[in-house]
């Protein structure tokens, strides 16, 4: 479609990852229309990268020296080793400023459809590095996709028999996200990888049902002890307000009888005990007679209840309960 030189440039740019035919065409015409000095700088940068930059002999990260800066840093923790797929993943982890160990770059992930197997990755070098006894934990930081899951599963089955501690990055909800927009796999892994805030102490306590039964038994025992220790309360002579007047009349009659006799039976001399007993019987008989008379009068009167505003129900009549 275009001249051979332009078409060759478009074809070569289209080979780059993430660059389609349209993007390759726009980049090619941008190079044609750009200043020659700028394009010279671009070509020089590409040539210099190919000439000077290589991969670290220890971890596989990009470096201009045989060993990268992270592997040369003695302040890094040698007991932690983070396994990533590409060199760009090292930059992503370093931006968190939460990891102070060392890295191992595999150079890709297992992808049978693309013809990439374990033999094409730097897995042998990883196993060789594990001979260092200072390494106590291996962190698998694979991408959360199908290829990353396959690579992590393969490495975990390979490295667990060695006896070293193997862990994976937690998968969960992003900060600022909503639960309703999370997929099932992400939400499920967030539940599996949840953090424990407090262990609690309910496991050390008794069963709640046993605690309830024990509390009821203790309360019943305390109530029985109180009832056994308490004295029986004296019963009232009369119950109900309608008998208050009768009680008062009886008390007045007893007081009048004692005034006529001059002294009560308790204060009478021993020689007058018989007379005091007879007088007491007469007073008791008078009180009983006054009580019966008052009770007969009360039966003739209606009960002290409020008269209903509504007429009685059909077929029903109000009766005097005294009758």
In tens, the pLDDT along 266-318 reads: 454 555 667 777 877 888 888 888 888 887 877 776 655 555 555 556 666 65
Query: Does residue 146 lie in a domain region?
Result: yes
For the chain, what is the domain count? 2
Query: Does residue 115 lie in a domain region?
Result: yes
Among 173, 208, 233, give the residue marking a domain's end. 173
Query: Does residue 126 lie in a domain region?
Result: yes
Query: Does residue 136 lie in a domain region?
Result: yes
What is the pLDDT, as a whole number, of residue 5?
85
77 and 38 co-located in one domain: no
CATH code: domain of residue 119:
3.40.1360.10
What is the pLDDT, as a whole number, of residue 244?
59
Helices (H), the chain: 4-14, 21-33, 36-52, 69-72, 87-96, 123-129, 146-159, 184-192, 208-229, 244-261, 273-300
b/e per residue 264-280 (b: at least 16 CB within 10 A):
eeeebeeeeeeebeebb
What is the pLDDT, as a whole number, of residue 151?
93
What is the pLDDT, as a whole number, of residue 238?
46
168 and 77 co-located in one domain: yes
Query: Does residue 101 lie in a domain region?
Result: yes
Report the predicted TM-score, pTM, of the whole model to 2 decimal places: 0.55
**Domain of 18, in residue numbers:** 4-52
22 and 112 co-located in one domain: no
Query: Does residue 8 lie in a domain region?
Result: yes
Query: Does residue 35 lie in a domain region?
Result: yes
125 and 78 co-located in one domain: yes
What is the pLDDT, as a whole number, of residue 155?
93
Among 129, 155, 173, give the residue marking a domain's end. 173
Among 173, 203, 231, give the residue marking a domain's end. 173
From first to last of its 323 residues, what are the pLDDT tens digits of the chain? 667 888 888 898 899 888 998 999 999 999 989 998 989 999 999 899 888 888 999 999 999 899 999 999 999 999 999 999 999 999 999 998 989 999 999 999 999 888 899 999 999 999 999 888 889 999 999 988 889 999 999 999 998 888 889 998 888 777 777 878 778 877 887 787 777 766 666 555 556 677 778 888 888 898 888 888 876 655 544 444 455 556 666 676 777 666 665 544 445 455 566 777 787 788 888 888 888 888 787 777 665 555 555 555 666 665 555 55
108 and 168 co-located in one domain: yes
151 and 87 co-located in one domain: yes
Q: Residue 279: name the closest of 311, 313, 254 by CA.
A: 254
What is the pLDDT, as a whole number, of residue 268?
47
83 and 150 co-located in one domain: yes
Q: Residue 28: name the closest of 16, 11, 45, 50 by CA.
A: 11
């Amino acid at each position: 479609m275009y001249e051979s030189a332009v078409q060759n440039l478009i074809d070569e740019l289209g080979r780059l990852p993430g660059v389609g035919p349209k993007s390759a065409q726009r980049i090619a015409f941008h190079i044609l229309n750009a200043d020659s000095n700028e394009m010279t700088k671009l070509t020089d940068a590409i040539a210099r990268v190919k000439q000077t930059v290589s991969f670290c002999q220890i971890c596989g990260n990009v470096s201009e020296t045989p060993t990268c800066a992270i592997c040369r840093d003695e302040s890094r923790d040698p007991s932690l080793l983070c396994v990533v797929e590409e060199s760009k993943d090292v930059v992503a982890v370093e931006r968190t400023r939460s990891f102070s160990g060392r890295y191992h770059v595999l150079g890709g992930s297992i992808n049978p459809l693309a013809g990439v197997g374990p033999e094409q990755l730097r897995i042998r070098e990883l196993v060789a590095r594990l001979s260092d006894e200072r390494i106590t934990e291996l962190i698998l930081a694979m991408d959360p996709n199908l290829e990353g899951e396959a690579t992590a599963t393969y490495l975990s089955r390979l490295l667990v028999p060695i006896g070293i501690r193997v862990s994976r990055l937690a998968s969960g909800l992003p900060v600022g996200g909503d639960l309703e927009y999370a997929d099932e796999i992400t939400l499920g892994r967030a539940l599996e990888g949840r953090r424990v805030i407090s262990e609690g102490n309910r496991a050390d306590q008794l069963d709640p049902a046993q605690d309830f039964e024990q509390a009821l038994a203790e309360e019943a025992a305390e109530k029985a002890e109180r009832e056994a220790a308490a004295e029986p309360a004296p019963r009232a002579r009369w119950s109900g307000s309608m008998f208050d007047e009768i009680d008062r009349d009886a008390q007045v009659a007893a007081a009048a009888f004692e005034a006529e006799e001059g002294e009560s039976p308790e204060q009478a001399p021993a020689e007058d005990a018989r007379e005091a007993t007879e007088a007491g019987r007469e007073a008791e008989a008078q009180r009983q007679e006054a009580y019966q008379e008052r009770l007969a009068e009360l039966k003739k009167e209606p009960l002290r209840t409020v008269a209903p505003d509504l007429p009685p129900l059909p077929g029903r009549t109000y009766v005097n309960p005294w009758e």
